Chain A
Amino acid sequence: MLSIKNLHASIEGTPILRGINLEVKPGEVHAIMGPNGSGKSTLASVLAGREEYEVTEGEVSFLGKDLLELAPEDRAREGVFLAFQYPVEIPGVSSTNFLRTAVNQVREYRGLDALDAVKFLTIMKEKMKLVEIDQKLLSRSLNEGFSGGEKKRNEIFQMAMLEPKLAILDETDSGLDIDALRVVSNGVNKLKSPDNATIVVTHYQRLLDYIVPDYVHVLYKGRIVKSGTKELALELEEKGYDWIKEEVDAAV
């Protein structure tokens, strides 16, 4: 589904990603971990098409298309979803209105008719249950005055509405208390299917108790320096990142 080959990216001339290789197949969950500043969030942003990052080398194909050639909105319409680390507030625009615009533009791109208000609301109500989100929240301005937990829940709700093929969760667990973490993870797990894939970018190992990954990758200095299964995450929890850093730094 997603194939990343030798991806290099920099911001304002400073290289952040220095040759990422990653293959993601339908139905898989990949966790990307790593110490602060290793490039985790950059990878998520580059895949979604954030403009400050310049791709200097390498290629990314998504369902056979050159992802890097596509505008951010077209990536989204093709089925790439990014759950933001810091969801953005848009005053005066209700979540409902926002999502309806988004859903219908995505449908238009895929050659489907726009949803009318009734149908849209029916689907919305159904998906709301997934993340236990309150309808009142959705009639308020998008993310404005939401607590940290509400913002992250809203991200997963949007993901449910947009039904992406590839979901990238950028530190969706950061700042959540245990109850909220449970709700958010439940939502993500319920949305899992053999046809879609998930990349979970996280700073805290705790998330992986709730979302079980098929693969764990450790990102350090812009490269994936170690890949493994869930056991790798447990090892990291126990020993921290220093042993990996040492291994890598010694090899250089």
Chain B
Amino acid sequence: MSKDNQILEEFTSKDYEHGWSVDMEVDEAPLGLNEDIIRWISAKKEEPQWLLDWRLKAFKTWETMSEPEWANVTYPKIDLQSLRYYSAPKKSNKPKSLNEIDPELLQIYERLGISLNEQKKLQGIAVDAVLDSVSVGTTFKDTLSKLGIVFCSFSEAVKEHPELVKKYLGSVVPTTDNYYAALNSAVFSDGSFCYIPSGVRCPMELSTYFRINAANTGQFERTLIVAEEGSYVSYLEGCTAPQRDENQLHAAVVEIYAAKDAEVKYSTVQNWFPGDKNGKGGIYNFVTKRGICAGDNSKISWTQVETGSAVTWKYPSCILKGDNSIGEFYSVAVTNNYQQADTGTKMIHIGKNTKSRIVSKGISAGKSQNSYRGQVQVMKRATNARNFSQCDSLLMGDKCGAHTFPYIDIQNSTAKVEHEATTSKIGEDQIFYCNQRGISTEDAVALIVNGYAKEVLNQLPMEFAVEAQKLLALTLEGSVG
């Protein structure tokens, strides 16, 4: 083995930082999945009848569907009957304010670097913390509510703003959309809800922090963001999970609705447990994210930094329905060891003069497989649609793979679609060049990888960008030669 690969090997054996878990008393559903479980969850959350009906309908649809197999990933069939679909920390069932949150829970988040204490909190970010199946606390609620902004857990929204939830739930990702979306619709336990009224520019970043703690539990959260006419919001999502030998399932749904002139920026730093260096354990991350630019001149921008999960299946998409609306997708997906990622986006141009931009940067190391899958669709009515796609792949070592599957479907001749792709190898050469200028190998890797991903990292809010940069270096530490 060349020295090059030796360094790579060392690099890829770095441990997962958030692999710990905490023992605590939990309130959980029995194992398995059936109508009774769904009724159990719904009852537990004291939901109205319409929502239970909605869930049951989704479950009926789901039963007729089968697992998608087109993605470029392989994993053993998941036994959905052996999972638990609800797990919540017992004591913290319904904290009325942040002061009532169980100190044990607060500690979990402190340890992750997420403070739920508003005083200590970074200025300008409101956090909704979700542990396993429920939201444990939301910060800055009062500040936000003065502007008419609703930012709370999904369960709370169902109780306090049923009309909004009822109107928008499933409007972007219908229950029938796909296997995992249907499953999520049937069993989702909590998540975040966010409503920005007309003309309001949300003064701070809104953020949800997801943490899986319990074993044998799937996490099925649901996020719904509604931006009314002329409003603006930037939303962040982060996630981690303990290190466990078995695989855990995370099947979330995110829906974004942008009215006329509204803008939503959605950023994710996904760091679920990726499995150990032999490919054991890790999260199966099967997520459906979609936004609709329903009104004219609206804009939805997705930015994701994907470093975790054993298997990722995720395509944050935009339906560009309003005229002049804009969809953006910026992604860095890093896979290491035995991780597999099949990720990308769909841009569906329906309105006139709609624009989309796709920048995807894949980094594969170890024995991982990294695929970009993207679709640009220009419908008949969408005159003067524009798309620019750039997908770059960076390979580290010779045992990993990078794949690109761009689909372009144009039904209107005025469309202008550009696609650029590059594949390159991070090499001994680059490292040696840095070394020769006195830069250590570790720093050289960080420099090179961050340079490569810069265009995407620049899209993230500042605090997040710094975190993401560290995370990238950490995920690949020691990994290049």
Contact = CB atoms under 8 A, between A and B. Distances in A.
Given A101-B439, A158-B437, 18 more contacts: A49-B435, A51-B4, A51-B432, A52-B428, A71-B435, A72-B432, A73-B435, A88-B432, A89-B430, A90-B430, A90-B434, A90-B447, A92-B453, A93-B451, A98-B434, A101-B447, A105-B443, A106-B438
A110 to B, nearest CB: 10
Interface string B258-297: 0000000000000000000000000000000000000000
Contacts of B448: 90, 93
B432 A50 contact: yes
Interface stretch (A76-84, A119-127, A183-191): A76-84
Interface centre among A51, A52, A97, A105 (most CB of B within 10 A): A51
A102 B443 CA distance: 10
Contacts of A31: none
A106 B430 CA distance: 18
Interface string A27-56: 000000000000000000000111110000
Contacts of B432: 48-51, 72, 88
A98 B437 CA distance: 9
A141 interface: yes
Contacts of A89: 430
Contacts of A77: 438
B452 A92 contact: yes
A88 B429 contact: yes
B435 A91 contact: no
A109 interface: yes
A77 B439 CA distance: 9
A219 interface: no
A207 interface: no
A82 B451 CA distance: 23
Of A82, A97, A102, A109, the most chain B CB neighbours within 10 A belong to A102
A50 B429 CA distance: 9
A141 B452 CA distance: 10
B123 interface: no
B455 interface: yes
A73 B438 contact: yes
10 contacts: A51-B4, A72-B432, A76-B436, A87-B433, A88-B429, A91-B451, A92-B453, A99-B437, A101-B439, A105-B438
Contact of A51 (B428, B434, B439, B440): B428
Given A92-B453, A93-B447, A102 B433 contact: no
A162 interface: yes
Nearest to B392: A91
A138 B246 CA distance: 49
B215 to A, nearest CB: 40
Range for the number of chain A residues in contact with chain B? 20 to 34
A82 B438 CA distance: 11
B423 interface: no
Contacts of A92: 450-455
B77 interface: no
A221 to B, nearest CB: 26
B3 interface: yes
Contacts of A105: 438-440, 443
A152 to B, nearest CB: 14
B441 interface: yes
A103 B2 CA distance: 29
A189 to B, nearest CB: 22
B455 to A, nearest CB: 7
Nearest to B449: A92
Interface of A: 48-52, 71-73, 75-77, 81-82, 84, 87-93, 97-99, 101-103, 105-106, 109, 141, 158, 162
A90 B439 CA distance: 14
A48 B437 CA distance: 10
Contact of A76 (B4, B428, B437): B437
A192 to B, nearest CB: 21
Given A84-B433, A90-B447, A90-B448, A73 B440 contact: yes
B445 to A, nearest CB: 11
Interface string B1-34: 0111000000000000000000000000000000
Contacts of B441: 73
Contacts of A72: 432, 435-436
Contact of B451 (A76, A88, A90, A109): A90
A49 B432 CA distance: 9
A108 to B, nearest CB: 9
- Which of B424, B434, B438 gathers most chain A CB within 10 Å? B438
Nearest to B427: A88
A167 B450 CA distance: 30
Nearest to A110: B438
Contact of B430 (A50, A88, A101, A102): A88
Contacts of B434: 73, 90, 98, 102
Interface string B329-372: 00000000000000000000000000000000000000000000
B304 to A, nearest CB: 18
Contacts of B439: 73, 101-102, 105
A162 B428 CA distance: 22
A5 to B, nearest CB: 23
A49 B441 CA distance: 13
Contact of A109 (B428, B429, B437, B438): B438
Contacts of B443: 101, 105
B305 to A, nearest CB: 15
A157 to B, nearest CB: 12
Nearest to B422: A91
Interface centre among B432, B441, B443 (most CB of A within 10 A): B432
Contacts of B3: 51
Q: Which 3 A-B pairs have the closest CB atoms?
A: A92-B451, A93-B451, A72-B435
A71 B432 CA distance: 10
A199 to B, nearest CB: 14
B478 to A, nearest CB: 15
B368 to A, nearest CB: 21
A159 B190 CA distance: 58
B436 A48 contact: yes
A103 B433 CA distance: 14
Given A51-B4, A93-B448, A105-B443, A88 B433 contact: yes
Contacts of B450: 92-93
Contacts of B437: 76, 98-99, 102, 106, 158, 162
